[in-house]
DNA sequence: CTGAAAGCGCTTACAG
DNA sequence: CTGAAAGCGCTTACAG
């Protein structure tokens, strides 16, 4: 790579000081600088193909205009859709995004945070995983600006933007009940993550409110490993009962995809014999035999708001804002 | 944010020079440094919670250990899956990834490249869009290490890792022909991008080789805007013929998703009346009435190889390597 | 075995 | 209206 041109190169060429070049190229002291000199500097910069060295600038200004984004897995459609929105919103404010996938592992996220902090990110948008409390407290102690997205931790006093998972779940189950279903199951992840627990709580609460049966074997909790087999097993158990279930709520997009794959091989009438509602959008829902109802997360708001909150807390004293957005229930079987 | 501890802080605390601290923390001159002093430096670094300032280091070493990744849209499953693989592979070599979505727009990619270069990325992995030739020549002229992924440009002499799209398409159509189909259509994007043209060429070539009819109205080219409607219109036209088509090749995952949505409302027997093959994997293919055959891209190789080629060309004199990987045809209807 | 010093490419008070 | 100079936090030849 040939040497890049620096402010000094321009200064020498034009015959002025580096200071002046810096002012002109940054549009500072506009009124006070000789128009002609300024123009000459600009022309020369263009001619020499000058490019600001952000690294040098960052070192001096202590600002990198970079946001770190940690999600569980960038290849998960939910996360990549979120990433795209965050990218666009960040770009509006002159920020670039570096990203990493934690695979829900504390160790990996620790490592990512470490790398990101070494790189002097201005702030972090973070879909934290289980048992991240200590890690988050540490970020707070270090006064690193960050905003949680999608996830939240009751014991940790920090900003977040997430779904109101309890209400979303509650609403979905009430809708199912309204359709006359009585034997309603749910498959969710076995996890202490609050947002996932809230989904389960909403499910139970809606059943209780309407005095419907809540059987513990109807609340299936699966591990993330071998998702496909786990969901399959859960479905089999649910269908094996003498009086089978007549509705099911899938607690996440990947569970739905796995569940639908299983059901697609079965001769059940959907939705007549089994009403299905899922969390999150996904292609699978559209292309199943009959379109599946789902709980639509306000992705755009999630992404945009998390960027806005983060930028707000960067620099300024951090006001803690916690947002739980409402979901929309998308009904396709009328 | 409270002041971070620097090498100087450690040096003062221990009572040695900054030089020495730098050496120790970077494991340089290992044999030549007093063990005890070294240990003391390490201990103090840990105690003061020292964190390398990568920005300062980068300014000095002229290396950021950062890769820029530009895809059309990070929320497209194909791209996000690729991004994940690139992330993991880059991480193995100590690189972090910053990303941006170009939306197939030259203007946006120009802007992203500009931003990335200002940030002194060490190299770029780029899924370039139409008419990018001049832009790429410019990168070459500036000696920016970069590798194209997924896309390639016949006139541009640079490294790339992509599918052998011609063969993939050819193979898929031969498979269709082997199934006894005679009236085979294809829907692809209207685009001069070489990899997309190669898919069309492979389709035509296979038909010709087997002396099958090639009707121009069977080769539908749609615009990326209003994909859904465009595909719908194309499908309607194809189905409207007196003797309808008996097979179709979808030229990309989004086209397949749109096409399947349309077909799912139709009372056609799949695959008996219409054999469907699609480029790329996607959930839709699994959950359609009957699983859809597809051309599987070697995503892992694409991602890993692009990182490897890039790292190879960073620093070293760039050897140009062009790779066209073979696709795998995944058959589900036996 | 260790340190003083230059320098990476910027910004910005300060002085004139 | 303009410039000399310090300094951001590192690395690294050079000297001893």
Looking up tokens 């802080």 gives B9
pLDDT band at B2 (very low <50, low <70, confident <90, very high): low
**pLDDT for B165:** 97
**Residue B45: both structure tokens together:** 């670094």
Kindly state the average pLDDT of the residues A146-175: 96
How does pLDDT run across A249-303, given as a tens digit for each residue?
A: 999 999 999 999 899 888 899 899 999 999 998 888 888 888 899 999 999 999 9
Own/partner long-range contacts of B289-294 (Cβ < 8 Å, ≥24 apart): B289/A289, B289/B264, B290/B332, B290/B333, B291/B332, B291/B333, B292/B256, B292/B260, B292/B332, B293/B172, B293/B175, B293/B329, B293/B330, B293/B331, B293/B332, B293/B333, B294/B256, B294/B329, B294/B330
* Smallest CA–C1' separation from A18, nucleotide: D3
A28 touches strand C (CB under 7 A): yes
* Smallest CA–C1' separation from B22, nucleotide: D11
How big, in percent rounded to 5, are the helix, strand and coil portions of chain B? 45, 15, 35
Hey, are the CB atoms on A96 and B87 less than 8 Å from each other?
no
CA-CA distance, B143 to B54, in Å (whole number)?
Answer: 24
pLDDT band at B110 (very low <50, low <70, confident <90, very high): very high
Hey, are the CB atoms on B2 and A143 less than 8 Å from each other?
yes
B315 or A35, higher pLDDT: A35
Contacts with A142 (C-beta within 8 Å, 6 or more apart), sequence order? A117, B1
Number of Cβ within 10 Å of residue B191's Cβ equals 19
Hey, are the CB atoms on A100 and B120 less than 8 Å from each other?
no
- Angle subtended by helix axes B77-92 and A77-92, to nearest 10: 80
Looking up tokens 């009959």 gives A290
- Given CB atoms, is A84 within the 8 Å cutoff of chain B? yes
Nearest to B180 by CA among B279, B273, B288: B273
CA-CA distance, B255 to B251, in Å (whole number)?
Answer: 7
Number of Cβ within 10 Å of residue B289's Cβ equals 16
Count interface pairs A-B at CB distance under 8 A. Answer: 139
Residues 154-183 of B with CB under 8 A from A: none
DSSP characters for B266-328?
S---TTTT-EEEEES--HHHHHSSSPPEEEE--HHHHHHHHHHHHHHHSSSPPPP-EEEEPPE
Q: What percent of chain B has pLDDT over 90?
A: 81
Kindly state the average pLDDT of the residues B324-334: 90
Angle at B37 between CA B32 and CA B40, to 5 degrees: 140
**pLDDT for A242:** 87
A214 alpha-carbon distance from chain centroid: 32
Hey, are the CB atoms on B55 and A51 less than 8 Å from each other?
no
Radius of gyration of chain A (CA): 26
How does pLDDT run across B195-205, given as a tens digit for each residue?
A: 999 999 999 99
Q: Report chain A residues whose CB lies below 8 A from the CB of B97.
A: 98-99
pLDDT band at A33 (very low <50, low <70, confident <90, very high): confident
Looking up tokens 């770029």 gives B124
- Given CB atoms, is B59 within the 8 Å cutoff of chain A? yes
For nucleotide C2, the protein residue with its alpha carbon nearest to C1' is B20
User: How many Cα atoms sit within 13 Å of B102 on the Cβ side?
Assistant: 26
How does pLDDT run across B302-321, given as a tens digit for each residue?
A: 999 999 999 999 977 668 99
Candidates B48, B113, B287: best to mutate against A (most CBs of A within 10 A) is B287
**pLDDT for A141:** 92
- Given CB atoms, is B326 within the 8 Å cutoff of chain A? no
Hey, are the CB atoms on A55 and B64 less than 8 Å from each other?
yes
**pLDDT for A34:** 86
Q: Does residue B269 have a pLDDT over 70?
A: yes
How does pLDDT run across B53-107, given as a tens digit for each residue?
A: 999 999 999 999 999 999 999 999 999 999 999 999 999 999 999 999 999 999 9
**pLDDT for A118:** 95
In whole numbers, what is the pLDDT of chain B averaged over residues?
A: 93
* Neighbour-count burial for A200-237, b at 16+ CB within 10 Å, e otherwise: bebbbbbbeeeebeeeeebbbebeeeebeebbbebbee
**Residue A210: both structure tokens together:** 């309407």
Own/partner long-range contacts of A180-183 (Cβ < 8 Å, ≥24 apart): A181/A246, A181/A247, A181/A275, A182/A212, A182/A213, A182/A246, A183/A213, A183/A218, A183/A243, A183/A244, A183/A245, A183/A246, A183/A247
Lowest mean pLDDT among A26-35, A56-65, A159-168, B207-216: A26-35
Strand partners, A330: A294
Q: Does residue A2 have a pLDDT over 70?
A: no
pLDDT band at A219 (very low <50, low <70, confident <90, very high): very high
CA-CA distance, A50 to A9, in Å (whole number)?
Answer: 9
Which range is most confident: A140-144, A322-326, B210-214?
A: A322-326
Q: Does residue A126 have a pLDDT over 60?
A: yes
CA-CA distance, B310 to A20, in Å (whole number)?
Answer: 38
**pLDDT for B216:** 87
Nucleotides of D under 7 A from a protein CB: 1-5, 7-13
Q: Does residue A90 have a pLDDT over 90?
A: yes
**pLDDT for B282:** 84
Pick from B98, B143, B257: CB nearest A96: B98
Residues 215-274 of A with CB under 8 A from B: 257, 260-261, 264
Q: Does residue A1 have a pLDDT over 60?
A: no
Candidates A48, A55, A64, A285: best to mutate against B (most CBs of B within 10 A) is A55
**pLDDT for B286:** 84
Q: Does residue B258 have a pLDDT over 50?
A: yes
Q: Report chain B residues whose CB lies below 8 A from the CB of A100.
A: 87, 91, 96
Candidates B7, B73, B84: best to mutate against A (most CBs of A within 10 A) is B84
CA-CA distance, B255 to B236, in Å (whole number)?
Answer: 14
B38 to A57, A59, A118, B33, B121: CA distances (angstroms): 32, 27, 22, 7, 33
- Given CB atoms, is A64 within the 8 Å cutoff of chain B? yes
Q: Report chain A residues whose CB lies below 8 A from the CB of B290.
A: none
Number of Cβ within 10 Å of residue B2's Cβ equals 7
For nucleotide D7, the protein residue with its alpha carbon nearest to C1' is A60
For nucleotide C3, the protein residue with its alpha carbon nearest to C1' is B17
Q: Report chain A residues whose CB lies below 8 A from the CB of B142.
A: 1
A57 to A8, A65, A269, B59: CA distances (angstroms): 14, 11, 63, 10
Q: What percent of chain B has pLDDT over 70?
A: 98
């Amino acid at each position: 790579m040939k040497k890049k041109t620096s402010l000094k190169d321009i200064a020498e060429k034009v015959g002025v000081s580096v200071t002046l070049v810096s002012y002109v190229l940054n549009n500072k002291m506009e009124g006070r600088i000789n128009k002609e000199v300024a123009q000459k500097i600009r022309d020369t910069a263009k001619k020499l193909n000058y490019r600001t060295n952000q690294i040098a600038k960052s070192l001096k200004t202590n600002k990198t205009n970079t946001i770190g984004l940690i999600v569980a897995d960038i290849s998960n459609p939910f996360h990549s859709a979120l990433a795209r929105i965050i990218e666009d919103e960040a770009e509006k404010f002159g920020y670039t995004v570096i990203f990493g996938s934690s695979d829900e592992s504390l160790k990996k996220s620790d490592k990512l945070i470490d790398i990101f902090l070494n790189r002097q990110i201005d702030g972090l948008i973070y879909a934290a995983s289980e048992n991240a409390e200590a890690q988050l407290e540490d970020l707070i102690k270090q006064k690193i600006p960050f905003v949680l997205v999608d996830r939240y931790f009751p014991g940790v006093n920090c900003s977040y933007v997430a779904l109101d998972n309890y209400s979303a779940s509650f609403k979905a189950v009430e809708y199912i009940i309204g359709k006359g279903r009585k034997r309603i199951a749910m498959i969710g992840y076995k996890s202490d993550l609050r947002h996932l627990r809230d989904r389960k709580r909403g499910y139970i609460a809606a059943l209780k409110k309407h005095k419907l049966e809540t059987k513990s074997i109807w609340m299936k909790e699966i591990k993330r490993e071998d998702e496909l087999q786990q969901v399959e097993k859960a479905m089999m158990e649910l269908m094996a009962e003498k009086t089978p279930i007549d509705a099911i709520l899938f607690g996440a997009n990947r569970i739905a995809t796995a569940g639908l794959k299983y059901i697609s091989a079965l001769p059940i009438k959907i939705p007549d014999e089994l009403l299905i509602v899922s969390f999150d959008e996904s292609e699978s829902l559209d292309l199943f035999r009959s379109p599946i109802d789902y709980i639509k997360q306000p992705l755009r708001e999630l992404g945009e708001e998390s960027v806005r909150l983060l930028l707000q807390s960067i620099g300024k004293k951090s006001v803690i804002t916690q947002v739980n957005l409402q979901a929309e229930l998308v009904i396709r079987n009328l």
